[in-house]
A and B are shown apart, each in its own frame.
Chain A
Amino acid sequence: MTLRGWPRSLFGRILLVLALGLALAHALTFVLAFTERSMTMRRAMVSYFASDVASSVAMLERLPATERAQWVDRLARRNYRFALAEPLDAPEDPSQLARLVANAVAATLPADRPVQVIDPHVPGTELRLQLRLADGTPLAVDMDEPRLQISPWVLGALALQLALLVGLCAWAVRAATRPLNTLADAADALGADRPTVPLAENGPREVVRAAAAFNRMQQRIQAHMQERMQILAAVSHDLQTPITRLRLRADLLDDPVLQGKLHADLAEMQSLVEEGIAYARSSQAVREPPQRVDLRALVESIARDYADAGLPVQLLHAVDVTCDTRPQALRRLLCNLVDNALKFAGAAELRLEAGAPGQWRVRVLDHGPGIPPAALSAVLQPYVRLEDSRNRGTGGTGLGLAIANELAQALGGRLVLGPRADGAQGLEARVELPGTPLLQ
């Protein structure tokens, strides 16, 4: 189960947790400070209000009753106003603020004055304070809702602070996760068997250690593969001389039947040796420098070479395209696929087409028995043969497609085997070439 919106990358996850935590801590701090400040403000406001009401009452009491009305308006403040109005018949407002205001005002007035705080149910007016002057004249004070203003710049500064913190976190998390990506890239490159490029051993201690360990592993793998190649090369080289002698001895035989049998056996031995060498060396194809190559001319020349040798290989379609690739490796790759088609189907068709945008593909098609879907990936492994349709009797060593697969990787592309796209019986081997230039 995965959470929706939960980032897939380690970078995203760590950053999300840190950013959420920071935002939460910020919000909490802000709420605490705001509450504390509004409580203080309220206390100060109420005591000021009480003493102002007391002095206003004292002033109004000293004025003649006729002049009071005109003074009442002058006594108004920003958030409360006086009015000479009969008290409304309403219950006491039970709120904390109302009690606070009632008590404070009562304390500043002479002890016998009744003070009542009600909710007048007028929009914009929070409380109405009702009292009477010494001569019994009713006085009402309407208080606006107390508002605590927050300046926009405070919110802006808070947002900026949060953004700065999240930005620094992103930088730190990126610095921590980047070496992982570098390591993954290097491991991928190693798989494709490019000439070894050691990882830079710098940065924090943990990264240096991982890079050094990776470099040592890379060297061991390289040494191992070289050893494998040297063993194959040495065995094959040592076999060349006795096989040559055997062939020459067979040529000197007077018995043509025996001679034919010996030649067939020797040819098989030879092809095993040669394919083994070719497979061991296929990983070296990356050493061939990439060049601009006229793909159409390349595919055409391959088809003509086979046709000149009397083999039924046709180029059915070819676009005019030049791309960056390794011409020798590509030729060997395509020849392997054509040889495979000739071996199992007797004929081959070639098509050079545009693939994904900016990419090119060569398809080698045949009308042979094809390969069962379950075995498609297995036949790309070395020394894997399909027992029913492909046995040693047809000359297969089980390396042709494995070599082709290695070469496709050396070209930065891939080899895909499958049934023919046009639905006909047969195998389609598709070589997909990358559109991006290869690294030298």
Chain B
Amino acid sequence: MTTPPPDHILIVDDDAGIRELAAEYLQRQGLQVSVAADGRQMREVLATQRIDLLVLDLMLPGTDGIALCRELRSPGAPPLPIIMLTARSDEADRILGLELGADDYLTKPFAARELLARIHAVLRRTRMLPPNLAVGEPARHLAFGDWRLDTTARHLLDATGAVVALSGAEYRLLRVLLDHPQRILTRDQLLQLTQGRDADVFDRSIDLLVSRVRQRLGDGARGSRYIKTVRNEGYVFCADVHAASASQEAAP
């Protein structure tokens, strides 16, 4: 019997101290780790080795993290989970907002434990969904029914354009549902997929969360327009979802 090879992580950071220390910690935790100081070295490693996940610093000399992320997410590039390292949480919001395709982000300074937890969470999440479930073209607004979800500001906009706020958990649940419309998601899948940055504190039952999101959308459990309950299976988002550009915002 052979044990599966350890996950191979590539850390790209221009600060030698940070990348060596992080690498040492992750190696102690049983991961295989490579390091790169900039985009050029990163491409060399990616060309020669199998990498399971990339930890990418936003601020890099030469080509910065945003450009590298966009390059790795261009059509035809092999899927590669990415965790972005950023200096400030509002920068992080911007990255998520731009939907550059980073799977998660971590603000500096971070605890090594936290990095490890994120790596495991992202790997688990990306492996849970088959490749054809991968998120399509990123969009600032996802429109469905009378509503639009603003993925940058992480709130809903109603038919009149008024902002309807969501709690973090509500947003993550709705986002997962909108990313996978017309597909039954089990409670377990939803729990895993909605475990975001606060994975360890998120322990509410999915049913309560679904009822809250339905309430926000003015949707009842029976005759639901948006989130249908599938008995003994889970939930399915049953309305059409499409990306809405900013120019469409004014449209009724």
Shortest CB-to-CB span from B229 to chain A, Å, is 21
Question: Is A294 a contact of B167 with CB atoms below 8 Å?
Answer: no
B230 CB within 8 Å of chain A: no
Inter-chain contacts of B167 with A (CB < 8 A): 300-302, 304-305, 308
A231-250, CB < 8 A from B: 237, 240-241, 243-249
| Pair B164/A245 contact, Cβ less than 8 Å | no
Q: Does B207 contact A (CB under 8 A)?
A: no
Judging by beta carbons under 8 Å apart, are B108 and A240 in contact? yes
Interface flags, B154-178, vs A, CB<8A=1, else 0: 0100101111111111100000000
Chain A neighbourhood of B164, CB < 8 A: 294, 297
B109 at the interface (CB under 8 A from A): yes
Measured CA separation A247–B112 after assembly (Å): 8
Interface residues of B in 197-236 (CB under 8 A from A): 198, 201-202, 204, 212, 216
Q: Decide if B170 touches A301 in the complex (CB within 8 Å).
A: yes
At the interface, yes or no: B75 with Cβ under 8 Å from chain A? no
B residues whose Cβ falls under 8 Å from a Cβ of A:
15, 17-18, 21-22, 24-25, 28, 87-88, 90, 108-113, 153, 155, 158, 160-170, 198, 201-202, 204, 212, 216
Is A309 an interface residue, CB under 8 A from the partner? yes
What's the Cα separation between A304 and B165 when bound, in Å?
A: 11
Once the chains bind, are A247 and B162 in contact (CB under 8 Å)? no
Contacts of B158 in A (CB 8 A): 294
Q: How many of A's residues come within 8 Å of B, CB to CB?
A: 36
Option from A241, A246, A281, A292 in Cβ contact (under 8 Å) with B162: A292
Q: Are B212 and A304 closer than 8 Å at their CB atoms? A: yes
Asked if residues B111 and A251 are in contact (CB atoms below 8 Å), the reply is: yes
With A237-B87, A251-B25, A305-B167: A266-B161 Cβ-Cβ less than 8 Å = no
Report the 4 A-B pairs with minimum CB-CB distance, sorted nearest first: A248-B21, A251-B112, A292-B162, A304-B167
B162 & A248 in contact (Cβ 8 Å cutoff): no
**Do residues B15 and A309 form an inter-chain contact, with CB atoms below 8 A?**
no
Q: Is A69 an interface residue when CB atoms closer than 8 A count as contact?
A: no
Contacts of B216 in A (CB 8 A): 297
Cβ contact within 8 Å between B165 and A248: no
- Whole-angstrom CA separation of A300 from B165 in the bound complex: 8
B198: min CB distance to chain A, Å: 6
A240 contact from B24, B90, B109, Cβ within 8 A: B109
Instruction: Determine the chain A residues whose CB is within 8 A of the CB of B28 once the complex forms.
Output: 252
Q: Would you call B168 and A308 a contact (CB within 8 A)?
A: yes
Across the interface, which residues of B come within 8 angstroms of A302, CB to CB?
165, 167
**Shortest distance from the beta carbon of B93 to any chain A beta carbon, whole Å:** 9
Chain A: which residue is nearest B23 at the CB level? A248
With A244-B108, A308-B198, A308-B202 in contact, is A322–B162 under 8 Å at CB?
yes
- In the bound assembly, the distance between CA atoms of A4 and B63 in angstroms comes to 74
Query: What secondary structure prevails in chain B residues at the interface with A?
Result: mixed
Is the pair A266, B109 in contact by a Cβ cutoff of 8 Å? yes
Q: How far is the CA of A243 from the CA of B87 in the complex (A)?
A: 11
Partner of B25 from the list A246, A252, A308 (CB cut-off 8 Å) is A252
Closest to A322 in B: B162
Minimum distance in angstroms from B160 CB to a CB of chain A: 7
For residue A68, CB closer than 8 A to chain B, the reply is: no
> Contact: A240 with B87, CB < 8 Å?
yes
A252 pairs with B112, CB closer than 8 A: yes
Q: How far is the CA of A263 from the CA of B212 in the complex (A)?
A: 37
**Docked-complex contact B165 and A331, CB < 8 angstroms:** yes
Q: Are B22 and A248 in contact (CB under 8 A)?
A: yes
Residues of B within 8 A of A327 (CB): 153, 155, 163, 165
| Smallest CB separation, B252 vs chain A (Å) | 15
Chain B residue with minimal CB distance to A237? B87
A274 to B163, CA, bound (A): 28
> Inside 8 A of B170's CB, which chain A residues have their CB?
301, 304
Which of chain A's residues has its CB closest to B169's CB? A308
Q: A297-B165, A301-B166, A327-B165 are in contact. Are A243 and B109 (CB under 8 A)?
A: yes
B18 and A245 contact, CB distance less than 8 A:
yes
Within 8 A of B (CB), among A257-316: 263, 266, 270, 274, 277, 281, 291-294, 297-298, 300-302, 304-305, 308-310
A240 to B161, CA, bound (A): 38
Contact call A252/B24, Cβ cutoff below 8 A: yes
Contacts of A389 in B (CB 8 A): none
Distance A291 CA – B158 CA, assembled complex (angstroms): 12
Cα–Cα distance between A331 and B90 once the two chains are bound (Å):
14
A274 vs B158: C-alpha distance in the bound complex, in angstroms?
34
**Within the complex, what minimum Cβ distance (angstroms) separates B241 from chain A?**
21
A373 to chain B, nearest CB (A): 34
In the complex, what's the smallest C-beta–C-beta distance from A211 to chain B, in angstroms? 36
Cβ of A328 under 8 Å from chain B: yes
Q: Is the CB of B198 within 8 A of A247?
A: no
| Given contacts A243-B109, A251-B112, A270-B109, A305 and B162 within 8 Å (CB-CB) | no
Bound-complex Cα distance A292 to B249 (A): 14
A393 to B51 CA separation, bound complex (whole angstroms)? 44
